[in-house]
Structure 1
């Protein structure tokens, strides 16, 4: 073996000897994450709020630099493009500043996609009402009562609302009368399902609606197919890192070092339920009361829930109940498991104390 080969062999031997010694010297800890003493979430959040952010001047200067793009962004909206902002840091303040300074001549609807629940139907109703108000005079001449038409939006289906917006297309004065929908975190947990994204894509197709949205999840582009990206949303991507903390967006996400208390579970479920209709809340209460009164049972049979809701005139058919249950399941408020006799039973994945607190918060 020549000198070069011996030197290379020596390096290899030393490397593996060092690795072996390091492995033998390391001590493996027997501690588990479940054994750690976790503190209350409120205490942890209060302590986190007192942390002084770094480089505030640099972040403020970066935010001011984006103001130079406001004119370009507005031009792109008027050309029929949708604005999609991405980059590290919360973009909530940036989008709100753009809307408050550059979109003052247009109606703006804000969707907080980071919330645990978002009512897309109510957003569509709001947009329809804004479009209706813009042409109230014309509609009053044709219907004789514009207010009656406005009140009927709440009872219309999503397809009816989209039909209304498309019919108003010709009456709009170009893109000078559009309604701008600002969506904070279009990739948020409440909007990640296929149905919500399809509704938002159809909304973006309406010529009198423009979309300005932000994304933060690394897999957010997987929410859309080629047609949605290039034809429906028609995204114009903008890299706008702000390095701002996710203060508003992080409120509804549990902290890894915080203990999950009953109050925390109840508060999260309450926020979701308050976004639903009063009728849906009443159906949920019937199920919760039954589970609390029969804690030893595996759950409440769907047939039993339907019978009780029918007695209280909360539902008129099994189809109505199924729509409520689908909404509950989508928000992880209710789950289904097989009873010992084979039938499906409903249960609420919350401890008893959290369920009591939830009912109390709902009033």
Structure 2
């Protein structure tokens, strides 16, 4: 009897399944289309998202405080030759930058924003080589006039030459380190296998340490066994912050929103708020120059460097180039050739948007 009951039950399930499929096929289908959805303006949608009240603030604050107590351990891991890989739900941009600014003050920090859709890896390696070379001059107290010509400029070198410089041309007994902070090493601009190989080689350089974050569930598939254990030498840390991806999401179109390729002052303010005060000062100088010289094609790089040095915003040309690289990565600043042949910098915003941007920066 029990077997017959089981057979009847199984038959009932099967009959109901095919009956549901038959009724579903004869049902009236919806004629609604995705194009019929009322799509709102992207800026309006982003403003609505930013006005969502945060929840569990106390619990999240306690969680971040527990991570800050790990800063000495993380710094020790870096001194031991390990790389730090942070994973977990939520943006880790603020956490990594706070760690670098409070616990890595004795080292030089170099930031790569992997969440940007397009990244020029050669430009990144060039800037990193300039930062490393600048630190070597300080540590060795070598007069700039005594430097051989084959060590400059880095911009004319190939990617392989830059990697060779970072890896083998320096004193491995040097105690200084350059810590490379990579926000979203699994970002769309860095997912290429060749770029990951370059980053792995950078991580294995004697005077460089990597601190990176990942957010994609399949991020570990980017690396093979050699890259994980020999080159990156990852030390994994689970650090969910539950923070919104405010900066990272700026560069991706929102669902159900009109696309807008023109960069607005509001988006620029969001990006600038994530940068250092000195970087904001450099951008402000460029913006003020552009407003007062609207008839010109841009501000010459030499003039910008001289002004920034007078205001103690930068101490060297590589430091200025580092800020400019970040501006260009965020598409805040672009370069064009002046009529006299020199390269000039300009901000791709209208004068009205630029004035509004300066007002919002001072608030």
TM-score class, shorter-chain normalisation, is 0.5 to 0.7
Q: Please, what TM-score do these two structures have when normalized by structure 2?
A: 0.66
SS in 1 for 2:180: strand
Gaps of 5+ in 1: 283-312, 314-357
Partner residue of 1:120? Answer: 121
Partner residue of 1:220? Answer: 219
TM-superposition CA deviations, 1:106-134 (whole Å, max 9, x none): 10001110012223223323332233233
Q: Is the 8 A contact 2:88 2:215 kept in 1?
A: yes
Shift of 1:271: 6.8
Partner residue of 1:132? Answer: 133
Shift of 1:165: 2.5
Shift of 1:157: 2.1
Shift of 1:49: 0.9
TM-superposition CA deviations, 1:134-172 (whole Å, max 9, x none): 33264736x743497775122222222222233443264
Shift of 1:99: 0.9
1:241 paired with 2:277, answer no
**Equivalents in 1 of 2:238, 2:200: separation in Å?**
21
1:207 paired with 2:206, answer yes
Q: 1:260 to 1:132 in 2, by over 3 A?
A: closer
SS in 1 for 2:38: coil
Shift of 1:24: 4.0
Partner residue of 2:35? Answer: 34
Q: Is the 8 A contact 1:172 1:208 kept in 2?
A: no
Q: Is the 8 A contact 2:167 2:204 kept in 1?
A: no
**Equivalents in 2 of 1:130, 1:226: separation in Å?**
30
Shift of 1:9: 2.5
SS in 2 for 1:64: helix
Partner residue of 1:260? Answer: 259
Partner residue of 2:230? Answer: 231
**Equivalents in 1 of 2:2, 2:221: separation in Å?**
55
Q: Please, what TM-score do these two structures have when normalized by structure 1?
A: 0.66
Q: 1:53 to 1:13 in 2, by over 3 A?
A: same
Partner residue of 1:61? Answer: 62
Shift of 1:249: 0.9
